[in-house]
Amino acid sequence: MPLIVQSSEYAPLSQRLDEIVRPLASAFASPLSVLHVAGLVALSDGKRIALSPSARYGQEPKKGNGMTKKVADLLVDVLAEAGVRRIYGVVGDSLNGITDSIRVKNNLEWVHVRHEEVAAFAAGAEAHLTGTLAVCAGSCGPGNMHLINGLYDCQRNRVPVLAIAAHIPSREIGSDYFQETDPKHIFAQCSHYCELVSDPEQMPRILETAIQTAISKRGVSVIVLPGDVALKDAVQGPRVRFHEQKSALCPSDEELNVLAELLNRAEKITILGGAGCAGAHAELMEVAGKLQAPIVHAYRGKEFIEYDNPFDVGMTGLLGFSSGYYAMMNCEILLMIGTDFPYRDFYPKDATIVQIDLRGEQLGRRTKVDYGIVGDTKATLRAYRSDVRSGQSSLLTLAVSLLPKKIRNVCPTSQRFDEPFPVHIIPKHFLPAITTAHQVINGSVILNT
């Protein structure tokens, strides 16, 4: 897409440039576009440059006063209101309305990456580290298709991400147009919500619904926005104010009493924790101490469970240790907390299994469950009442002894980042490098081992 300069002082130069390039475009029978040199001058002087959705050579751009809010402007405003601070993506003609609005308004940052897959993974990493909504974008056709791998990762990791999938001109949809795809079909399996915006009246309601869905369901939402629709006049302003969700789901007293009765009469209890234990480390340690239970962690629960944990016996499964395998296979009761551990062959066959999860649809999905409870990990463990046991259980003692020495000998000093960043245990041989890096970049270190 060419840049059309609104400032009259550059009009002669732009007109002359058009006259030179148009014959070339006709000769090649190609819809060539040009970046006006005058446009670059106007940009460097801080003057507004308008992007025309149909300004190919041989066509005159539509004139306007530039004061009407476009759908793209509305999108940027709603994202900023929702707390979004940046969009990761690769620029393209179908995204011109959005990128131009970001440049003019300056209330969001466009983070340019070299491939759209990187944009999706970057948004997922930001959402994981901050716990807030992150956004990525791809232009029509292959641009937004490149987002797919990263969005699958975001969906499986349950992080709130919004993907903006720009689309071909709305009048060409269904005509087998150049680079035409069906984004609603493509993104259906890696998102909770995916919808096409075909008319300005659908905005911002579609966008706000997508944001709320991504935040509340902790996953991916996709809005499909044709480039020409993004440049149409907006019909209405933002409708919803977004607030951080702080509610917690706690089981009933009856359910908690049954749980306490089950656990109090068993002697060998093992806890299997996952990513659902995030933010509940203290409560988990307290319950494990009362039950004298070894704690096995799933891979995604490692960063929330392993640090400062005297009950830790490592992982099980394809990437696990004999200690974690022994603790699960030799328990009387397996207490699953906030985990969707997928490997069915590594579950005990004869133990009583109790599962606590915020998502009721996950109860019993991986193995048979004798008692399932729907509840938030932190709220449930806080409300749980258990007898305190004296001495260390034989199961815990033996399982800990089986943990590889190189894991047990990890440096006892853990480096805690300010919430909501995860906490890490730092092996001794990493400490000098981390200390140096910490000094070099003033503490902005995130280490994933």
Averaged pLDDT for residues 72-87: 93
Averaged pLDDT for residues 274-282: 93
Residue type, 218: R
What pLDDT shows up at residue 445? 46
Residue 346 has pLDDT above 50, yes or no: yes
Q: What is the pTM of this model?
A: 0.71
Q: Is the Cα torsion angle 369, 370, 373, 378 positive or negative in sign?
A: negative
What pLDDT shows up at residue 399? 84
Helix (H, G, I), strand (E, B) or coil at 111: strand
What pLDDT shows up at residue 408? 53
In this prediction, residue 237 has a pLDDT band, given cuts at 50, 70 and 90, of confident
pLDDT tens digits, 386-422? 666 656 677 888 888 887 765 555 434 343 333 343 3
What pLDDT shows up at residue 437? 43
Are 133 and 215 in contact by the 8 Å Cβ rule? The answer is: yes
Taking the C-alpha atoms of residue 43 and residue 196, their distance in angstroms, rounded to an integer, is: 32
Residue type, 126: E
Are 137 and 101 in contact by the 8 Å Cβ rule? The answer is: no
SS3 assignment for 397-428: HHHHHHCCHHHHCCCCCEECCCCCCCCEECCH
| Percent of the chain at pLDDT exceeding 70 | 73
What pLDDT shows up at residue 200? 94
Question: How many C-beta atoms surround the C-beta of residue 306 within 10 A?
Answer: 21
Average pLDDT, the chain: 79
pLDDT tens digits, 238-258? 777 777 677 788 999 999 999
Residue 28 has pLDDT above 60, yes or no: no
Taking the C-alpha atoms of residue 190 and residue 365, their distance in angstroms, rounded to an integer, is: 19
What pLDDT shows up at residue 324? 92
Residue 63 has pLDDT above 90, yes or no: no
Helix (H, G, I), strand (E, B) or coil at 33: coil
Are 168 and 198 in contact by the 8 Å Cβ rule? The answer is: no
Residue 44 has pLDDT above 50, yes or no: no
Residue 206 has pLDDT above 50, yes or no: yes
Question: How many C-beta atoms surround the C-beta of residue 83 within 10 A?
Answer: 14
Q: Which residue, chain included where needed, has tokens 């716990």?
A: 131
